[in-house]
Amino acid sequence: MITLTVNGKTVRAREGSPLLEAVRAAGVEIPTLCQHEALEPWGGCRLCLVDVTRPEWNGWAKMVVSCMYPAEEGLIVETHTERVVETRRVVLDLLLARCPETPLIQRLAREHGIEKTSYLPNPEPTDCILCGLCTRVCDHIGVFAISSVNRGAGREIAPPFHEAPPDCIGCLACAEVCPTSCIPYETSDARRTIWGKAFEMVRCPKCGKAHITKAQADFYAGRNGVPRSYFETCDACKRQEMARTFSKLSAGAVGGMETGKQGNRETGRP
Amino acid sequence: MIEQSCAQMAPLEEILGRYPREEASLIQVLQDVHRAYNYLPCDVLAKVSQNLGVPLAKVFSVSTFYKAFSLTPQGKIIVRVCTGTACHIRGATQLIDEARRLLEIAPGETTPDMGFTLKTVNCVGACAMAPVLIVGEKVHGNTKPAKVAKALGVEEKHHAH
Ligand code: SF4
Ligand code: SF4
Ligand code: FES
Ligand code: FES
């Protein structure tokens, strides 16, 4: 563990862990849009900017993205210096120009004193902020079904050739992780659709709930070498089954111990 | 997913043989495919993805990132008009107008006989020769609208009516 200061407060952190963790540990809130604890930091949205300095830097400080900058011993972190706040405001102003109708962006902008973007608002409003969380979560699962396509102003998230992605397993992870909920999907007991691809559902053999797609069950089974039937049972039923097994086991274990003790007592007695 | 009729796979086989079957070969393979087919056909990209073990979404991402790659069939000769700052100031717009008039297509389009594709590009790094017109591989510096027909190798059309 190392020690650093955040807005004058001393905090301890794991060396090399993202500065953002130390900032949060100090109880300081800064906005983030492209960061997720289950994924590698990416540094895409630039909202988590902070100023860092050290005594030996003679007053010189640099702005870094805290979700990626590694914590070091003795670092002095300031999260709300004038230039940091101003830069964050520019980022939000630009995001608001891109996504003028997106509630999350409107709220963050308003919290930074921006009611209307000072840039030309996007004539074709989108809710996608290009945070890359969806593609990164899909890659993380090991599916790689969607990606960032084109560049510059035309950049967007899309499946290959803008058609139903052949690799997608319909897990909905991308839609769930999306901070602006802009990936549409439909799901029912019979069918699920996302990215224009339709999936058949698997029903839990215990309770009948349609909880995953056939493609998901196939993918997980193929990857882990665990029988497909394990994934067909829904999590709730799996937990129940587990609880039953444990209570049976512990009942057995307790019983066994008692017999053991008794045996000892018996043999132990003169 | 494949709209184009099955493009010839033969050139691809040969191209794939040139590089190790790994992700790092992707851009080189795409460049060679582009040279051989004059664009990146989607069925060929699917094959590239399989062969190199790179997910199709990644192949598509790279293919759409670089301006040098086209995902639609292009004309035999690519005509590029530089619209960078220097060329803009020295008359790129007139060159485009002249090329449009001669080829009867807008930038980004291809002539129906697949002879030419007209493109605009940003600074090609030859500002001293502005305005710059590139026909196929040949660079024409200090071009004037009157010289475009010759550079394109097309007959000057005398107005039809
Ligand atoms: S639903 Fe499809 S695209 Fe989305 S994370 Fe799952 S596999 Fe990837
Ligand atoms: S679709 Fe959502 S998760 Fe994906 S980049 Fe856009 S905003 Fe981020
Ligand atoms: S959260 Fe750090 S750059 Fe987005
Ligand atoms: S602007 Fe045309 S070559 Fe630089």
Q: Give DSSP secondary structure letters for B72-95.
A: S---SEEEEEE-SHHHHHTTHHHH
Greatest C-alpha distance within chain B = 59
> Are residues B52 and B90 part of one domain?
no
> Are residues B81 and B61 part of one domain?
no
Residue A129 burial (C-beta neighbours within 10 Å; 0-12, 13-18, 19+): buried
> Are residues B142 and B82 part of one domain?
yes
Q: What residues of chain B score a pLDDT lower than 50?
A: 1-5, 160-161
The count of other CB atoms within 10 Å of the CB of residue B150 is 12
Q: Which of B37, B65, B93 delimits the end of a domain?
A: B65
CA dihedral sign of residues A215, A217, A218, A223: positive
> Are residues B41 and B103 part of one domain?
no
Check if B52 contacts A (Cβ < 8 Å).
no
Check if B57 contacts A (Cβ < 8 Å).
yes
- A157-202 residue pLDDT tens: 999 999 999 999 999 999 999 999 999 999 999 899 999 999 999 9
> Are residues B84 and B37 part of one domain?
no
Complete domains list, chain A, with CATH: 2-80 (3.10.20.740), 133-233 (no CATH)
Query: From the CA atom positions of chain A, what is the Rg in Å?
Result: 26
> A147–B65: do the CB atoms touch at under 8 Å?
no
Cα separation, A25 vs A19, whole angstroms: 10
> Are residues B97 and B24 part of one domain?
no
> Are residues B133 and B107 part of one domain?
yes
> A149–B55: do the CB atoms touch at under 8 Å?
no
Nearest ligand, CA A19: 3
Q: Which residues of B touch A160 (CB under 8 A)?
A: 1, 45, 56-57, 59-60
User: Measuring CA to CA, which residue among B81, B70, B66, B63 is closest to residue B119?
Assistant: B81
Measure Cα distances from B45 to A32, A150, A194, B39 in Å.
Answer: 36, 16, 23, 11
CATH of the domain at B13: 1.10.10
Cα separation, A173 vs A247, whole angstroms: 33
Whether residue B107 is contained in a domain is answered as yes
The three-state secondary structure class of A108 is helix
Whether residue B71 is contained in a domain is answered as no
Whether residue B97 is contained in a domain is answered as yes
Confirm if B107 and B96 have CB atoms less than 8 A apart: yes
- The total number of structural domains in chain B stands at 2
Helix axes B56-65, B42-52, angle to 10 degrees: 120
The predicted pLDDT at position A226 comes to 87
> Are residues B96 and B123 part of one domain?
yes
The predicted pLDDT at position B157 comes to 57
pLDDT of chain A along its 270 residues, tens only? 999 999 999 999 999 999 999 999 999 999 999 999 999 999 999 999 999 999 999 999 999 999 999 999 999 999 999 999 999 999 999 999 999 999 999 999 999 999 999 999 999 999 999 999 999 999 999 999 999 999 998 999 999 999 999 999 999 999 999 999 999 999 999 899 999 999 999 999 999 999 999 999 999 998 878 888 899 999 999 999 889 988 888 887 665 444 444 434 443 343
Q: Which of B65, B85, B110 delimits the end of a domain?
A: B65
Cα(A145) to ligand 1 centroid in Å equals 6
> B59–A167: do the CB atoms touch at under 8 Å?
no
Indicate the Cα dihedral angle B37, B42, B43, B45, nearest 10°: 80
B16: enclosing H helix or E strand: helix B10-17
The count of other CB atoms within 10 Å of the CB of residue A114 is 18
Q: Which residue of B has its CA nearest to A146?
A: B57
- A120-133 residue pLDDT tens: 999 999 999 999 99
* Tokens, residue B9: 């796979």
> Are residues B122 and B94 part of one domain?
yes
User: Measuring CA to CA, which residue among A5, A114, A95 is closest to residue A44?
Assistant: A95
Whole domain around residue B43: which residue ranges? 2-65
Gap from B161 CA to chain A (nearest CA, Å): 41
The predicted pLDDT at position B86 comes to 97
The predicted pLDDT at position A264 comes to 41
* Tokens, residue A39: 């994924």
> Are residues B81 and B155 part of one domain?
yes
Which region holds residue A254: left if phi is over 0, alpha if psi is between -120 and 50, else beta? alpha
Could you tell me which residues come within 8 angstroms of residue A134 by beta carbon, excluding any fewer than 6 positions away?
A: A146, A157, A174, A175, A177, A178, A183
Whether residue B144 is contained in a domain is answered as yes
> Are residues B82 and B31 part of one domain?
no
Whether residue B134 is contained in a domain is answered as yes
Whether residue B72 is contained in a domain is answered as no
The predicted pLDDT at position B67 comes to 85
> Can you give the pTM of this predicted structure?
0.85
> Are residues B96 and B58 part of one domain?
no
Tell me what the pLDDT averaged over chain B comes to: 91
State what percent of residues in chain A have pLDDT above 70: 93
CATH of the domain at B122: 3.40.30.10
- DSSP 8-state class, residue A121: P
Whether residue B96 is contained in a domain is answered as yes
Whether residue B120 is contained in a domain is answered as yes
